[in-house]
Amino acid sequence: MAESTTVSNTANLLKYMQLDQKGKVLAEYIWIDGSNGVRSKTKTLDKAVKSADELSEWNFDGSSCGQAPGDNSDVYLRPVAIFPDPFRGGENILVMCETWDHDGSPNKFNYRHEAARLMDAHAQHEPWFGLEQEYTLFGPDGWPYGWPKNGFPAPQGPYYCGVGTNKVYCRDVVEAHYKACLYAGIKISGINAEVMPSQWEFQVGPCEGIELGDHLWMARFLLKRVAEEFGIVITIDPKPIKGDWNGTGLHTNVSTKEMREDGGMKAIEAMMSKLEKRNTEHIEVYGEGNRDRMTGEHETANIDRFTWGVANRGASVRVPRQCAAAGKGYFEDRRPASNADPYQITGIMMETVSDPASLLAAEYKICSVRANIQKPQLTKPPQMFGGVEGETFDPAKKAEGK
């Protein structure tokens, strides 16, 4: 493992981390900067707090974060959620913040504000979200950790959910991050090694409404913060290595009240027609560099053509086979890139869910597929995450009579 560039002597650090804070509490204010990264700084509080409402606003130099010009650089931090701090322990906290300009308007990189407005406006749909965050671990030399210097490992195949030397890399970083998330109260629901070596995934959710974005961004912060201590560089670039290697995504699982009820498959089918009509709009907020990833290969769809199918990882949207069989549940949007903003994803998803202008769901039925599936006896909607390969449904081909 590479040496940490932020912790020079862990044993010495621990002596000071155990000192009495004399009743004071440390609050780490965290925000999203102008380059889709996370920044943070620490404030001392006189007492412990139970909610973000008890915390005061703060400010920072927006010109140094790509969020404001130098001659008007103050940007303000408004606390929106708090989490226990796994690094400092005790009553110390991590604080998720929105960024606001001096005139009282949301900063141009504050996507949370609009997403929260959309969640409130369409709360009757009771949306649940689950996101699958893929990422790649690099060494300080700028090459995936564990890969041969100036070379490549064996082709993809044995690495997905792999076990053993030369199958997985940096498991200690992944496990440390998992435990840090659990301590912080983040709704992390699982981890697994991914298809490309040194590529991993963690899942967050199901969460209701705006909570998903808060939890995913905090999990991203914790991942980078944990990786500091191992001397590892985290990248969420959607195509970190060119060539015959999988990219990294942020697969988005979506379920509304209508989709979870008996007969909810009709609501899912109706949503497919809405998503097909707004494919370009969704792609615009689904991450920078996504075209390099969404080539129609390596378990992706063509970025310019919307398709959906039951249990198909080569489609734009996958409906899990269990959901199709049960006639209700959720769908997985496989288009978002790993660097997409979860507030933008969930915000536009609520816009699309609530769009009344759509083609009749009957035009997009998958009854012919479901007819050959034995319907299981379920007492609740199928659980988010998981599935197998299957058939693709292409609206464009249907329109052509194919």
Q: Which tens digit of pLDDT belongs to each residue from 118-153?
A: 999 999 999 999 999 999 999 999 999 999 998 999
Torsion angle of C-alpha atoms 359, 362, 366, 372, degrees rounded to 10: 180
The residue whose two tokens read 């303000």 is: 76
Of 28-32, 60-64, 394-398, the poorest mean pLDDT is in 394-398
Outline where DSSP puts E strands in 15-105. Answer: 25-32, 38-45, 58-61, 74-84, 93-100
pLDDT of residue 391: 41
pLDDT of residue 10: 78
Q: pTM score, two decimals?
A: 0.89
- Asked if residue 368 has pLDDT above 50, the reply is no
Place 393 in a pLDDT band, splitting at 50, 70 and 90: very low
pLDDT beyond 70 at 377:
no
CATH superfamily assigned to domain 121-399: Glutamine synthetase/guanido kinase, catalytic domain (3.30.590.10)
Three-state SS at 154: coil
Compute the distance between CA of residue 33 and CA of residue 39 in angstroms, rounded to an integer.
7
Q: Which two tokens stand for residue 135?
A: 């990422």
Domains 24-109 and 121-399 share a fold: no
Query: What does CATH list as the number for 24-109?
Result: 3.10.20.70
Q: What percent of the chain has pLDDT over 70?
A: 86
Q: Which amino acid is at 21?
A: Q
At residue 397, the pLDDT reads 47
Which residues 6+ apart lie within 8 Å of 64 measured at CB?
Answer: 73
Alpha helical stretches, state H, 278-329: 279-284, 290-293, 321-326
What is the mean predicted confidence (pLDDT) over 375-396?
47
Task: Kindly state the greatest CA–CA separation across the chain.
Answer: 74
SS (H, E, C) 362-393: HHHCCHHHHCCCCCCCCCCCCCCCCCCCCEEE
Do 249 and 338 touch, CB atoms closer than 8 A?
yes
| Domain residue limits, the chain | 24-109, 121-399
Query: What confidence tier does 378 reach under pLDDT thresholds 50, 70, 90?
Result: very low
Mean predicted lDDT score pLDDT of the chain: 89
Which of 257, 258, 236 lies closest to 247 in space, CA to CA?
236
DSSP class of residue 144 equals B
Answer yes or no: is pLDDT of 361 > 80: no
Gap between the Cα atoms of 97 and 112, Å rounded: 9
Task: Give the per-residue pLDDT at 271.
Answer: 97
Higher pLDDT, 13 or 304: 304
Q: How far is CA 261 from CA 162, 264, 311, 328, 389, in A?
A: 37, 5, 20, 6, 25
262 vs 381: CA distance, rounded Å: 9
- Percentage of the chain lying above the pLDDT 90 cut: 83
Reference 40, options 4, 93, 90; nearest CA is 93
Q: Is the peptide bond before 206 cis (omega within 30 degrees of 0)?
A: yes
Cβ–Cβ under 8 Å, residues 207 and 129: yes
Tens digit of pLDDT for each residue in 175-198? 999 999 999 999 999 999 999 999
